Amino acid sequence: MSEKREQATLGGGCFWCLEAIYQDVVGVEKVVSGYAGGTAVNPTYEEVCYGRTGHAEVVQITYDPKIISYEELLFIFWRIHDPTTPNRQGNDVGTQYRSIILTHDETQRQIAEKSMAEAAALYSNPIVTEIVPLEIFYPAETYHQNYFNQHRSQPYCRAVIDPKVRKFRKSFQDKLKS
């Protein structure tokens, strides 16, 4: 394995959903649920849920670029949520659930913009995903980390996350950890 690791920070609705999917991806070493894109310092889940912090629920993905590229992570991103609905994913409504790519550098910004232009062909409505520089990432509280794997029987996990994970696993078998 290479020594160099990179990070991607993405938001596409509930962070539990993205976390559960990206944890399965070969080359992804760590996924941390958290908050970014807003102005409040050290926000709590409750503050973010009220929609007054400006932060979105996001995941920060640490990956090995020799195994999976940033482009491939974005290819998955465009297919695991609806980037055409402003401030919502399914029944989750609010600015904290917006579609957002927080770039770590200029190269990521350029790749994200190109990827978004290519993904536009997948949707009949315009993509509303924000592409903005990451200023700061705040990890979510401990009880949010690895949520799906620890709470599979919880109703939200069964009704919302599990179907998304199953669909992802069926469609992306070549990207799954064994």
Give the catalytic positions in this structure.
14
Cβ atoms within 10 Å of 173's Cβ, excluding its own = 8
CB 123 within 8 A of CB 83: yes
CB 113 within 8 A of CB 152: no
**For residue 176, what is the DSSP state?**
B
**Distance between CA atoms of residues 144 and 14, nearest Å:** 11
| AA letter at 152 | R
Tell me phi and psi for residue 137, to 5 degrees. -115, 130
Largest interatomic CA distance in the chain: 42
